[in-house]
A = this chain, B = another copy of it.
Amino acid sequence: MAKPLRKDAQRNRDLLVAAARELFAERGLDVPLEEIARCAGVSIGTLYNRFPGRADLIDAVFADRVAATRVLAEEALDMPDAWDGLVRFLTGVCEMQAADLGYNALASERGPYAAASEEAVAEGYALMRRIVARAQESGTLRPDVTLEDMVFVVWGHARTVEATAAIAPRLWRRHLALLLDGLRTPEPSPLPEPPLSPEQARRAMSP
């Protein structure tokens, strides 16, 4: 546990996180740090005192979203119908993506920020793996897709979510429905290539 900050320092920290949360949500993860500082009414030097790099600020801003994603996954696992659980989880993730450009980027962009709190990500993956497995065991999710497939599918979908968020904020529901129809069991065609291993997927997403 780190020693507590001085009162003014803590206040500034909170202001910074709040400003960053707002700007990240509106404009993505690439907002200039100087703008965040200005928007928080604090100097750029203070920002660097509190957060050595952009990634630390991102960690602080999105800690609650990571937690929310976890809760979402647990709720999905608690739903009586496995397919409903899967749909619920994907819908929830897309909702957050549509509401927050920063979250979208974090959940979908390959790049330097994916590192945010390694073990939280690992936990999230473990939960998602259970959601997928459960849906497959129930016979509703086609048996030949893997978690890695799902991640890429969502990843691609994120771009649509982002592009249409401003113009038709609910359109992603349409595309998600389209996508889910491809994941259902009824008459899947054989898939032409083997899936990615978890390790390969990891490498593909953080170059």
Which A residues from 142 to 176 make CB contacts under 8 A with B?
145, 149, 152-153, 155-160, 163-164, 166-168, 170-171, 173-175
What are the interface flags for A176-201 relative to B under an 8 Å C-beta threshold, 1 for contact and 0 otherwise?
01111111101111111111100010
Q: Could you tell me if A160 and B167 are in contact, using CB atoms closer than 8 angstroms? A: no
- Judged by DSSP, the binding face of A is helix
Checking B153, B173, B181 against A188 with a beta-carbon cut-off of 8 angstroms, the contacting residue is B181
Number of interface residues of A (CB under 8 A): 46
Given the complex of chains A and B, what is the CA–CA distance between A179 and B188 in angstroms?
Answer: 11
Q: Could you tell me if B182 and A196 are in contact, using CB atoms closer than 8 angstroms? A: no
Q: Could you tell me if B177 and A189 are in contact, using CB atoms closer than 8 angstroms? A: yes
Given the complex of chains A and B, what is the CA–CA distance between A207 and B78 in angstroms?
Answer: 40
Q: Could you tell me if A195 and B181 are in contact, using CB atoms closer than 8 angstroms? A: no
Checking B157, B177, B184, B193 against A156 with a beta-carbon cut-off of 8 angstroms, the contacting residue is B157
Min Cβ gap A56→B in Å is 25
Q: Could you tell me if B177 and A179 are in contact, using CB atoms closer than 8 angstroms? A: no
Q: Which residues of B contact A152 (CB under 8 A)?
A: 160, 163-164, 175
Which A residues from 80 to 117 make CB contacts under 8 A with B?
108, 110
- Cβ of A204 under 8 Å from chain B: yes
A contact set with B: CB distance below 8 Å: 108, 110, 145, 149, 152-153, 155-160, 163-164, 166-168, 170-171, 173-175, 177-184, 186-196, 200, 203-205, 207
14 other contacts beyond A153-B175, A186-B186, with CB at 8 A cut-off? Answer: A152-B164, A152-B175, A156-B158, A156-B160, A159-B159, A163-B204, A164-B196, A174-B193, A174-B195, A178-B183, A180-B189, A181-B189, A182-B183, A187-B187
